[in-house]
Amino acid sequence: MIVSLTISLFWCEELIMNPLISAASVIAAGLAIGLASIDPLHVRPIAHAIWDPHFGQSAVEAFTRGGAPGPVNIAYSGVYQWWYTIGLRTNEDLYTRALFLLFLSALSLITGWLHLQPKWKPSVLWFKSAESRLNHHLSGKKLY
């Protein structure tokens, strides 16, 4: 019984936290930078950030040696290119995605709460069948 409760709580926490963390990242990127100001078609994705997008053009010009095109290669981590590839091109697209992820997180929170209610608790026979338990939990994971 305790093992089953622990497993249920673990899966519920995972189902709730994944969309929340993703939504927070998307909202932060939309608010701080503005996806429209990033041009993912003309910069190279890299494994780590070299140029901070908050570092404005005037600062880039101030720290650039004479005749050099820029102080560093202007590149991003690849997140913006990935968003552009999957169709997130404007801030409104980011906010819509974030709202969807928050809705999904709320839905997961409700389903996690239902798992702990005696009225919705399945019979002991259901817990003994690994296939039905696996199908039930994997159907929730397929949403993500």
C-beta atoms surrounding 90 within 10 Å = 12
Q: What is the pLDDT of residues 79-112, one digit of tens each?
A: 777 777 788 778 788 888 888 888 887 887 787 7
Taking the C-alpha atoms of 74, 31, 81 and 17 in order, what is their torsion angle to the nearest 10 degrees?
A: 130
Are 132 and 50 in contact, with CB atoms under 8 Å apart?
A: no
The DSSP bridge partners found for residue 44 are 75
Predicted confidence at residue 112, as pLDDT, reads 75
Single-letter code of the amino acid located at 117:
Q
pLDDT of residue 55: 61
Q: How do the domains of the chain map onto residue ranges?
A: 2-36+89-141, 41-77
Residue 30: CB atoms within 10 Å = 21
Give the dihedral sign, CA 86/92/98/100: negative
pLDDT by residue (tens digit) across 12-69?
A: 566 666 666 777 777 666 666 666 666 666 665 554 444 555 566 676 677 666 666 6
State in Å, rounded, how far the first CA of the chain is from the last one. Answer: 27
